[in-house]
Structure 1
Amino acid sequence: MTQNRYPIPAGFHRSEIEVQRSRFITSIEPVDSAEAALKFVARLKQEFPDANHNCWAYLVGPPGSSDRIGLSDDGEPHGAAGKPMLTVLQHGNIGDIVAVVTRYFGGIKLGKGGMVKAYTQAVQTALEQLEKVEKIDWYSVTIAFDYAHLNSIERVLPDFEAEIVARNFADKIELELKLPLEQAELLRDALTNLTAGKISFQTEDLAD
């Protein structure tokens, strides 16, 4: 796992637990910015306007990140909700994630320790059920080379997870490639050696 490549939520996910008759509904979504996380929080507050609390935490960046984070107890005792929720996210081997735990009070007070356990369990349960995908920063490059090198180049491309997006056959062969960002320099070195330097690289913007 690199800083450019790590697990993130595959999409929106929701789970629910009950603790001492209180309902804890956890909603999760992938986010790539603090702004996106706060929009999600606002959306959940609109969805559950009658809830006693909509506590939340988010982590933008690789798993374990601490530079782009946010949390809120939303009226629960200080440190009883947002902090344990964020702790679960930071230790969950997942990045780019926001979690909102919506609580409907069931009439039995849990105490601060009980609330910490409940909010922790709510997020842990959601993460256990959560479908994940790998976030990859894609890189695009067009390479041009003599026809004689085509077969040998095509053989090594899978070693660098490079996919051929487009082909152009003219005086030279041009291949437009898409590959993970962390493989870009390694592929450049390998193809330069393979062709004894008789290859050109035209770098393009990062591909989504």
Structure 2
Amino acid sequence: MKKDYPVPAGYLERETEVKKSRFIARVAPVGSRDEVKAWLAQAQKDHPDARHICWAYQIGRPGSAAEAAMNDDGEPSGTAGKPILNVIQYKDMGDVLVMVIRYFGGIKLGAGGLVRAYAGAAERVLSAVDRVVRQPVIEARVTLSFADEQPLRHWCELHGASVDSVDYGPSVHARVSVPENRAQQFGAFCDAQKLDYSFER
């Protein structure tokens, strides 16, 4: 069961300048490593001439994240990715990626200056982005026929649930994320449709 926690409401970009170096900070909501890779690829495409694209992300509940990672992208070790991740953790936000794109301005900042610049860029964009609360959801496994798939998807659309995966074999197996407060209604729907289901606790 996933508990509620704040996540970024959407994508946002903020730019700062420190001793002629440009720091372009981007924040984006992410739910998987593939989404992180897609955002990083987009940043590289948008800024092919940038000296560094440093980043950090945290997926899952703040304080007990399922996954977190960081990258200094050529900056001295510990001067970029770690300060960005520290700000993410301080902001108590989950499912979040922060990228800081740097264009070098010709003046070296030193290790302490880099830490302050990257942390400051991350702080600025995370303070500006709107937050939404990720509602608690419960995972369900459903066995159904091909004919039942469309009614299931329709119910999910109407009730804020999502079909996360579907495996097609002799019968169809679906994984569904159901808002915790809709679990009873979901069970009633499955009973009415004569679908075999179970909740993962």
| TM-score relative to the length of structure 2 | 0.69
- Match of residue 28 from structure 1: 27
Structure 2 gap ranges (5+): 140-157, 160-177, 191-196
- 1:7-56 CA-to-partner distances (Å, cap 9, x unmatched) read 11111110011111111000111000112112211110111010010001
| TM-align CA RMSD | 2.9
The secondary structure found in structure 1 opposite 2:40 is helix
Q: Given the superposition, is the C-alpha separation of residues 77 and 139 from structure 1 closer, same or farther in structure 2, using an over 3 Å criterion?
A: closer
Whether the aligned pair in 1 keeps the contact of 2:65 and 2:94 (CA below 8 Å) is: no
- Match of residue 76 from structure 1: 75
- 1:82-120 CA-to-partner distances (Å, cap 9, x unmatched) read 011111111112110011100011111100111001000
- Check if 1:109 corresponds to 2:108: yes
Whether the aligned pair in 1 keeps the contact of 2:2 and 2:137 (CA below 8 Å) is: no
- Match of residue 118 from structure 2: 119
The secondary structure found in structure 2 opposite 1:102 is strand
The secondary structure found in structure 1 opposite 2:113 is helix
Cα distance in 2 for residues equivalent to 1:26 and 1:17? 8
Q: Given the superposition, is the C-alpha separation of residues 205 and 11 from structure 1 closer, same or farther in structure 2, using an over 3 Å criterion?
A: farther
How do 1:3-152 residues align onto structure 2 when only pairs under 5 Å count?
3-138=2-137
Number of positions where the alignment pairs a residue of Structure 1 with one of Structure 2: 158
Deviation >3 Å, runs of 4+? 137-140, 200-206
Which amino acid is 1:123 matched to? A
- 1:136-192 CA-to-partner distances (Å, cap 9, x unmatched) read 14569xxxxxxxxxxxxxxxxxxxxxxx96xxxxxxxxxxxxx841x468x79xxxx
Whether the aligned pair in 1 keeps the contact of 2:56 and 2:99 (CA below 8 Å) is: yes
How do 1:162-181 residues align onto structure 2 when only pairs under 5 Å count?
180-181=179-180
Deviates more, 1:2-11 or 1:77-86: 2-11
User: CA shift at 1:75, angstroms?
Assistant: 0.6
Whether the aligned pair in 2 keeps the contact of 1:139 and 1:184 (CA below 8 Å) is: no
User: CA shift at 1:64, angstroms?
Assistant: 2.8
The secondary structure found in structure 1 opposite 2:114 is helix
Whether the aligned pair in 2 keeps the contact of 1:63 and 1:91 (CA below 8 Å) is: no
| TM-score relative to the length of structure 1 | 0.67
Structure 1 gap ranges (5+): 141-163, 166-178, 189-199
Which amino acid is 2:6 matched to? P
Percent identity, aligned pairs only, is: 40
